Amino acid sequence: MTHQDDELLQFVRQALGLVTSGALTSMPLAKRGSSRSFHRIRYEDHGTVVFMRYDHLRKENNYYAAIAYFLL
């Protein structure tokens, strides 16, 4: 596991309020555009979430969540 993977899982654990003792695994999903990457995060037997990582260098990435919510 890389340092970036460790940081990703630590961020997800904190964002979702997960206890530190439970096992988290990350599986990268197919690469998408605009410098975004998607990961399926599994927390033991409690199911999965999809996590998106992006940078702020591309202006449209800053609007991704709002646009996705609107389209929902």
**pLDDT tens-digit map of 22-33:** 788 888 888 766
* 8-11 contacts, C-beta under 8 A, 24 or more apart: 8/39, 8/51, 8/53, 9/41
Cβ-in-10-Å burial (0-12, 13-18, 19+) of 15 comes to exposed
Which residue type occupies 17? G
What pLDDT score does 43 carry?
Answer: 84
Q: For 9-18, what is the mean pLDDT?
A: 85
Who's near 51: CB < 8 A, 6+ residues apart?
8, 12, 26, 38, 39, 40, 41
